[in-house]
Amino acid sequence: MRGVVVKEDSGRELTSSAAESVGGVDVALSHASKLLESDPALAAEQAAEILRRVPGHPLAQLIAGAAARRCGNPEGAVAILEPLAAAQPRAPAAQFELALACADLGRGDAAIEALRRAVALKPDLADAWRALGDHLIAIGDTAGADAAYANQIKASTRDPRLLAPAAALQEGRVAVAEAQLRDHLRQFPTDVAALRMLAEVAGRLGRYADAEALLTRCLELAPSFIAARHNLALVLLRQNRAAEALVHARHLLEREPRNPGYRNLMAGVLSQLGEYAESIRLYEGVLAEYPHQPRVWMSYGHSLKTAARSDESIAAYRRSTALAPQLGEAWWSLANLKTFRFDPTDIATMRRQLGRTDISHEDRFHLHFALGKALEDAGLYEESFAHYADANRLRREVIRYDADATTTLVQRSKALFTKEFFAARTGVGCPAPDPVFIVGMPRAGSTLVEQILSSHSRVEGTMELPDVVALVRDLSSGGGGTRPDRSRYPGVLADLDPARLRDLGSEYLERTRVQRKTAAPFFIDKLPNNWQHVGLIHLMLPNAKIVDARRHPLSCGFSVFKQHFARGQHFSFGLEDIGRYYRDYVELMAHVDAVLPGRVHRVHYEAMVADTETEVRRLLEYCGLPFEAGCLRFHENERAVRTPSAEQVRQPIYRDSLEQWRHYERWLGPLRDALGPVLEAYPAVPSFTHRPAAADR
C-alpha cells in the first residue's frame, strides 16, 4: 500500500505482540493493503476482521481509515485516523492519511498541519509534498507551495543523474540546477522529469515563455503527466492567458474535484475570464475549509471588489489584515479601492508592521504604498511622499526596466510607419469593426472612458486584454515558441502579406471571444500599453476604433508613481522612467496623428471633467454610435470593473484628483525634467526630433 506503512523512530514496522504471534495477520495485512486501490470496501472488511482478532493493531487501523476515505466516508476515516495519529505521533503514514481525510471533510487547516507533520517525519514522502503544495496554493502561499513542489520533485526523483539538480532546486540554487539540467537534456532530450524540473527553474526566473514550451513538450511526450499539466496551467495564468489555462484547469478538476489547489487555480482562471459569480463561489468553498487563511480572504476580496460588492470586499480585506497584520498586500488592497479611508488605528498598525525586521520584501513595499495613501488622505504629504518613494525604491530592486528599449521601439516605429507604408496597405486586414481600443498611460482616465462607452447599449466592456501583446510576442519570436527578439518588431510587419494581416485580425477576435459575455456588437480592449502597437492594430483591424486617453503629465505621472502595479508596468517605479515613458508615448501618438490623420480619437481627462456631455458626444460620434443618456450616468453601471479605478468610476465625475499632484510638486523634479517640452506644451504636443536611444548612440 503506497505510503501507508506505520513506522516508529527506528524505522521498524510497529506491530502488536499479538500480531507477531499470529503469522496469518501479516498475510492478511498485506492482502488488505493491496486491495485499497482496487476494492477499498473489501480492504475495509479485511481490516475490520484483523482488528477483531488483534484489537488496536496500528496497521489495521491505518488501512481501515484509508479504506473509509476511499469509500467516500471521510467522517469515519477521521474518527479512526485522528486517535491513531495521536497514539503514533512518529508515524508519517498516519499523518498523511489523516491529512487526506481532513481535506475531504473540508478541514483544510487541519490537513495542512498533518501534512507538515508527515513530511517532517518522512522527507522523502513525495505524495505528501505534492498534497502540501496543492493546499498551500489554495491558501495563496505561493512561496511555500513552490518549496513543497521542489521537495516533491526531489523526493520522487529516482534517476541518480537527476538527484543533484533536484537537490539544487530544492535548496534554491537555481543557476546550478539550470546548468545541470541543460547538460542532462542534451543527452536525454525526452526525459519528461528533467523537462518539468527545467520548467520549474524557468518559472522561478520569470521566463514564462520558456517554461510554457518545456511543459508543453512534457505533455506531448506524456499526456497523463498531471504535475506538468498543473504547472502549465499556472504558467499560462501568470501570462494572463486564462482561456488556455481553463482547458487544463478543467482537466485537472475532472480528475480530482476536491483538490484545493485545482479549485483555487480554477477560481483564478474564472476571475481573469470575468466569470466572477463562479469565482466567488469557489473562493467561498475554499474559505469554508480554510477560514483562517489571510491570502484566501484577500483573493476573495479581489473578486468581490470587481463584482461591485464593495462593502463585502472591504470586510474580506479587513479579515485578511486581522489574521495577518503584516500582510502588506491586504493593506494595499484596501488602499487601492481609492475611496476607502484608513483610521488612526490602521495607520498605527501599519507603522508597527514596518518597524518589524521579520517581514518579507514584498510585504514591506506593499505597506509603504498603503501607508503613503493613508497619509496622503490625512494631509501629511511630506511623510506620504517618503513612503511612496521607499515603496518604489524597494519595488525597483526586484524588477528590470530598460527605458532606452522603449525609446528605441518608438524610433523604429516612426521609421517604419510612414504615410507611404500605410497607403500601400490600404484595404488589408480583417474588416470586422468590433474592437474599441483604449490606449495611453495608466491612470490617465482610461477606465472612465471605458465605463462611459460600456454604458452604451451596443458596447461591452471587458478588461485590459493581453492579446495584442501576445500577438506581438509571437511575431517577435517568429512564431516558433522561442524567446521574443525585440529587434524583430515592428520591422517584421513589413514582410507580412495581406492574407497574414487579415489572419492576425481574425486571430485577435477569436482569442478575445471568451471575454465577450453579451450580444453587443462592439467590445472594449482597455490595455493602455497598446499605444506601442497602434500601427499593428491599424494594419490587422483597420475598422477598429482607437481612443487615446490622456491626462496632464504631472498629474498622470505622479498618479502612476503612487500606484503599485503587480505586473506589466515596469517603467512605473521611478519618476524619471515615468517621464521618459510618457514622452515616448506622446511622440509616437503624434507621429500616428501625422501619418494617419483622424485615425485616433483623443480624450483629455481635464476636458472630460470640465464638460462631460460635450466630450461624451464627441466620443460616441467618433465610434459611430448614437448618443444615449445612459453614457452620462456611467456611475450607475454595475458591470464588473477590473482596474484600480473600479470604485472611482462607480461615482459621478469628481474634480478632486485634477490638482492633487500639486501637494507633491516640490518632489517631482525628476519627472518634470524627463518630460521636458511635453510638459511645457500640454495639452498640445511639441515638435519632435529624433532622440537616439543608448543603443543607437
Q: What is the mean pLDDT of residues 670-693?
A: 87
pLDDT in tens, 520-557: 999 999 999 999 999 999 999 999 999 999 999 999 99
Phi, psi of 435, rounded to the nearest 5 degrees: -80, 145
- Report whether pLDDT(604) > 50: yes
pLDDT of residue 286: 86
CA distance 557 to 498: 39
Alpha carbon distance 419, 414 (integer Å): 10
Find residue 600's DSSP bridge partners. Answer: 546
Between CA 375 and CA 686 the distance in angstroms is 36
pLDDT at 259: 87
Taking a C-beta distance cutoff of 8 angstroms, is the pair 261, 230 a contact?
yes
Termini Cα distance of the chain: 68
76-117 residue pLDDT tens = 999 999 999 999 999 999 999 999 999 888 898 899 999 999
Q: What is d(CA 169, CA 121) in angstroms, rounded to the nearest whole number?
A: 21
Q: Nearest to residue 352, comparing CAs of 382, 325, 322, 333?
A: 325
Q: Which CATH architecture has domain 1-156?
A: Alpha Horseshoe (1.25)
> Tens digit of pLDDT for each residue in 398-452?
888 999 999 999 999 999 999 999 999 999 999 999 999 999 999 999 999 999 9
Residue 382 C-beta-side C-alpha neighbours within 13 Å: 0
Higher-confidence residue of 46 and 556: namely 556
Put residue 246 in one of left, alpha, beta given phi > 0 → left and psi -120 to 50 → alpha.
Answer: alpha
Q: Residue ranges of the domains in the chain?
A: 1-156, 403-696
- Residue 445 identity: G
Minimal CA–CA distance to 79: which of 93, 61, 92?
61
User: What whole-number distance in Å separates Cα of residue 668 and Cα of residue 26?
Assistant: 78
Cell of 593: 496623428
DSSP characters over 468-523: HHHHHHHHHTTTSSSPP-GGGTTGGGGG--HHHHHHHHHHHHHHHGGG--S--SEE
pLDDT in tens, 216-263: 999 998 888 888 999 999 999 988 888 899 999 999 999 988 888 898
pLDDT of res. 273: 87
List, for residues 48-84, the tens digit of each pLDDT value.
988 888 898 999 999 999 999 999 999 999 999 999 9
Q: What CATH code would you report for 403-696?
A: 3.40.50.300
Beta bridge partner(s), residue 438: 547
pLDDT of residue 16: 40
In the chain, pLDDT over 90 holds for what percent of residues? Answer: 62
Distance CA 148, CA 158 (A): 18
Mean pLDDT confidence for 648-653: 52
What pTM, to 2 d.p., does this model score?
0.79
Chain-wide mean pLDDT for the chain? 88
pLDDT of residue 580: 98
